[in-house]
Amino acid sequence: MATQLNNLSGYDPDLMPNAADFTFGVVVAEWNHEITESLWQGVKDTLIQNGVKEQNIIKIDVPGSFELTFGAKILLDKPNIDAVIALGCVIRGETPHFEYISQAVSNGLTQLNVMYRKPVIFGVLTTNNLEQAQDRAGGKYGNKGVEAAVAAIKMAALNANFTSM
């Protein structure tokens, strides 16, 4: 398992672009609230630690992971947003619902990446059980929210560099 080889919260702050002038949108699924709020805290803390002003972090909540795509689109339509981070948690159950939701969210967020000239970061956990989700939301493998925030900063800087050319 790839996560066992990497801590999701590990990154070198010295290699991070300056994020002080960026504005980030974060859309958070309310389903599996304990997990998604931990992911959100990882995102918020990491953005602030990397120079993003708290007022430049726009958070919206949606009912579940399926609604992340629409929430992300709302944020992408705002001209001042430089990148969007989608945070959710889908835990496998007894029915195929897990596969449908995971695939729909993945495809929806990918489509937004293609449609908009702004990065959309996939911060959605897709796990077999609650323990695996907890391990990746501040537990023994770190916090996927930190990894999502780092990716958002790097992609916003990449986009800004190429947009200004």
Residue 97 appears among annotated catalytic residues: yes
**Could you tell me if 120 and 112 are in contact, meaning their C-beta atoms sit under 8 angstroms apart?**
yes
DSSP assignment of the chain = -GGGGS-TT---GGGPPP-TT--EEEEEE-TTHHHHHHHHHHHHHHHHHTT--GGGEEEEEESSGGGHHHHHHHHHTSTT--EEEEEEEEE--SSTHHHHHHHHHHHHHHHHHHHSSS-EEEEEEEESSHHHHHHTEEETTEEHHHHHHHHHHHHHHHHHHHHT-
Q: Which one of the listed residues 33, 53, 78, 97 is annotated catalytic?
A: 97
Q: Catalytic residue numbers?
A: 97
